[in-house]
Structure 1
Amino acid sequence: MNATSNQSALKLADVRKSFGKTEIIRGVDLDIRKGERHAVIGPNGAGKSTLFNLISGRFPVSSGKIELNGQDITGLKPFEINRRGLSRSFQITNIFHRMSVFENIRCATLYALGYRYSFWHRLAKLADAVERAEDILQRIGLQNRRDTQAGLLTYAEQRALEIGITIAGGADVILLDEPTAGMSRSESDHAVELISRVTEGKTLVMVEHDMSVVFGLADRISVVVYGEVIATDAPAGIKSNRAVQEAYLGTTLAEA
């Protein structure tokens, strides 16, 4: 479990999002602490991925305010938010399939190390980028697949690579959108161990449907139903919350 503080890493105040006349996110308030591992759960169509898209700048908010480490990021573009210390993964694996595993990771390190577009720099000679990429490969357990084309990895390996890309830029707030979706139980267990290890000391926010993953990783859990947060609590409190159990239409969180 990460050591948490009383300071906010990510704060949402009355955040709303409408598409036309349809309101999808309806006044969400969240206060996620630095160093916390926080899960966002809810039924399909509850608005969880939309919420992630608002936080990361992929969608503009209709109203409300989002702060990252005390700075207002409402309305900023995704790359601007990333450069302020937030990185995210997606439900659909988002990697460069024709590049090697190592090249994928190295590319993700460049901006954080101060490199900008330049046709005269040879990437192979950027010792700090090479060193950081090699370290991340070791941490995500893909060092033996270093020179493999990313598109040839297994699905679970591709998800591990995407997590590596997500942390490569040094962001201190990490958003993972369904990181274990489509995995077998053994693959999911391995992913939980990987996520726990590589996010040590960082703030983690994840959307996840697998309750064993959620209860195995999260310090606190927020439940979103119809675009609203109906409960935020430690795992034990969420398991026993009657409103949460009703929102899952009979699924037994208490047994998860």
Structure 2
Amino acid sequence: MNAPMSKTAVPALQLEGLRKSFGRTEIIRGVDLSIQRGELHAVIGPNGAGKSTLFNLITGRFAPTSGTVRLHGTDLAGMAPFQINRMGLSRSFQITNIFPKMTVFENVRCSLLWSQGYRYSFWNLVSRSRELNEGADEILEQINLTARRDLPAGVLSYAEQRALEIGITIAGGADVIMLDEPTAGMSHSETDYIVELIRKVTENKTLVMVEHDMGVVFGLADRISVLVYGEIIATGRPEDVRANPKVQEAYLGAALEAEH
């Protein structure tokens, strides 16, 4: 687990009165949530609870109907996803999002360009940048893909592609990492591999993840929030959430049974 932070510190993420409606349908219904710096936080809940919508509100893909999202105390209202990313928040998606025809190394190197100061300098030959190339190799080592460095990303196994996406997510130096179902569709051995990878690459960072695998959730998270029909019905340490009668009734009992 990451080191606990002071309760008086400015939260990494602060959601206040967050609501989102599509037409007359309200998907997120007044979410209040504070996530401290360095915390590993999981959001769980049944299908249709609004978890992906909540992620999209935090990362700027959707504008809230009302309420606020703050990153390290800064209100993100009106900011585009790329602006939020440059402020230190990065995310992955449920569907693997890589460049399959580019090499594993090139995928990571592309994700480093902005943070390394390349901006829109199209005349720079990135292949000649020692700092950029060394940075990409360091990330490949972190995510255990050095041996796959020169392969097209599309030929990697599913778990390796997810690992590459995590590498792309952390490449820009973000200190808040959001992972959307990082172990979905994986075998037990693949899941173990990804969990250890997440633990390693989020050290001293803030992690927010949506995940359906309860073994992953209870083994990785410092705190858990349970979202049901657009509302958070409980937030707390894993053992407290597991014992919460409201959570057991609304979601957890059925989810745990599905694991067996």
The equivalent position to 2:22 in structure 1, one of 19, 22, 40, is 19
User: What is the match of residue 55 of structure 2?
Assistant: 52
Q: TM-score, normalised by structure 2?
A: 0.96
How many Å separate the matches in 2 of 1:186 and 1:98? 27
> Where do 5+ consecutive residues of structure 1 fail to align?
none
User: What is the match of residue 10 of structure 1?
Assistant: 13
Report 1:34-183 matches (<5 A): 34-183=37-186
> Where do 5+ consecutive residues of structure 2 fail to align?
none
Identity among equivalent pairs (%):
67
How many Å separate the matches in 2 of 1:19 and 1:171? 30
Q: Give the aligned length.
A: 256
How many Å separate the matches in 2 of 1:197 and 1:33? 19
Amino acid at match of 1:32: I
Q: CA deviation at 1:249?
A: 7.0
RMSD: 1.4
Contact 1:239 1:254 in 2 (8 A): no
How many Å separate the matches in 2 of 1:193 and 1:95? 21
Contact 1:39 1:208 in 2 (8 A): yes
Q: Does 1:210 align with 2:213?
A: yes
Q: CA deviation at 1:74?
A: 2.0
Cα offsets for 1:34-92 (capped at 9, x unmatched): 00000000000000010000000011111000000111112210001001000000000
Amino acid at match of 1:145: R
Q: TM-score, normalised by structure 1?
A: 0.97
User: What is the match of residue 193 of structure 1?
Assistant: 196
Contact 1:15 1:29 in 2 (8 A): yes
Cα offsets for 1:147-199 (capped at 9, x unmatched): 00001111110000000000000000000000000100110011100000010
Secondary structure of 1:13 counterpart: strand
Amino acid at match of 1:195: I
| CA distance 1:21–1:114, shift in 2 (3 Å) | same
How many Å separate the matches in 1 of 2:165 and 2:100? 11
Secondary structure of 1:134 counterpart: helix
